[in-house]
Chain A
Amino acid sequence: MSEQGSADVREVVIEYFDGTSRTATIIDREVPYPEGKLIVSRTDTKGFITHANQAFVDMSGYSQEELIGKNHYILRHPDMPAVAFAGLWETIEAGNKWHGYVKNLRKDGAYYWVKATVIPNIRNGQVVGYTSVRRKPSRSKIAESEALYATLK
């Protein structure tokens, strides 16, 4: 990303709910959603990734090995307000389906927008994990979400 001007690159400390944090390089560059694909992942009940499809690997920039076993917050972009994810967890822990627009952080610091749906995986009446399936969002929904999230931070 040598062509990126320094104004578009910043170092941000991201603090996660579990008390850990990391310094991430954030680049103001959007990677377009791959046409026709669904980005799919599954987690255990705590949000640790147990499955990621090829589109997930390609878009996130992490390898399959780097993703499995990691907390899903590895994709957390600092522009995403914490309340969005609080709403997600509240919804899925109550056994319901959650829809939302999410700006995700890639390993290289760039970002991509998705329309995400998360559902609980129920086996023999027990929640054993969660599945998230993302699809391509419209530009108007991205613009709406950007405006909304800016007010929630």
Chain B
Amino acid sequence: MTLNLTVSPDFAPDHISGWFIFNTWLQRQLETRVHLELYDCFDKQRADIKAGKYDLVYANPFDASMLVRELGFKALVRPLSKPDETIIATHAESSLTCVEDLAEGAQLVATDDPDVNRIGMIMLEPADLDSANTKLNTVDSYVIVAKHLLNNQADAGFFLKDAYDELSALIRKQMKVLVSSEISVVHHALLVGPEMQQFIPQLQDKLIGMAEDEKGKSVLESMNLLGWEIMTEEETEFMIDLIDTLID
């Protein structure tokens, strides 16, 4: 038997090798072949997940909703102390000091990360901005989002906070944050497909134990995670309900 694992394409490229190390670790723990497939595009990955290609998905919060409510996946664990937060930033020398300073016709730059973009648009609402009265340039990575801001090709950019914090100090110094979300209850989750649910207790056990053993800890470090926390069914439903309120 082979298990198929995929990971939401929104983590920093530095941690790709970490996910392959995790894959190997998982394989040893379960004594089963695990195949990891990575994507650089959200839509293609979503289509393959919907086609039933995956048993295990490390999903961003918006995809987690779809996986649970539409495809019968169950959340196993969430990453410890790692909520998904969004930053709207601009050039350090921009005259903008808050979101409300942005005007109609503002040029935005972002990746195709669906949750960051949704939260970003919500944080523009106080300025009466939406997708109809702004222009959005979609680029491939957060480094490119930053470049567009530094080159004055955009008024404001959306970042996953984790990705923003991992940009070099030199780049960050040339930007300023207009607003940073503090939602704290919206986060990624590792989910298991409907066919695999008999493995849930075993998987949860192994994942929770990772932070306690040397080998597991180094695997976590390579993925830039501190550990995992159990996600109960009600916690998962609560997060999904919350996300539901953010989608029009």
Contacts and interface: CB of A to CB of B under 8 A. Distances in A.
B125 A133 contact: no
Contacts of B100: 138-139
Interface residues of B, number: 20
Contacts of A131: 238, 241-242, 244-245
14 contacts: A36-B179, A36-B183, A38-B242, A40-B242, A42-B238, A97-B244, A115-B125, A118-B245, A121-B237, A131-B245, A133-B245, A136-B125, A138-B100, A139-B100
Given A35-B179, A36-B179, A38-B183, A117 B125 contact: no
A54 to B, nearest CB: 8
Given A36-B181, A40-B185, A138 B245 contact: no
A110 to B, nearest CB: 19
Interface string A40-55: 1010000000000101
A36 B123 contact: yes
A33 B125 CA distance: 13
Nearest to B87: A36
Contact of B245 (A33, A36, A97): A97
A70 to B, nearest CB: 20
B182 interface: yes
B90 to A, nearest CB: 15
A22 interface: no
Interface of A: 33-38, 40, 42, 53, 55, 97, 115, 117-119, 121, 123, 131-133, 135-141
Given A97-B245, A131-B242, A133-B242, A36 B180 contact: yes
A34 B183 CA distance: 11
Nearest to B241: A131
Nearest to B234: A123
A117 B126 contact: no
Contact of A135 (B122, B180, B182, B185): B122
Interface string B90-134: 000000000010000000000000000000001101111000000
B167 interface: no
A4 B128 CA distance: 31
Contacts of A118: 245
A138 B128 contact: yes
Interface string B220-248: 00000000000000000110011011100
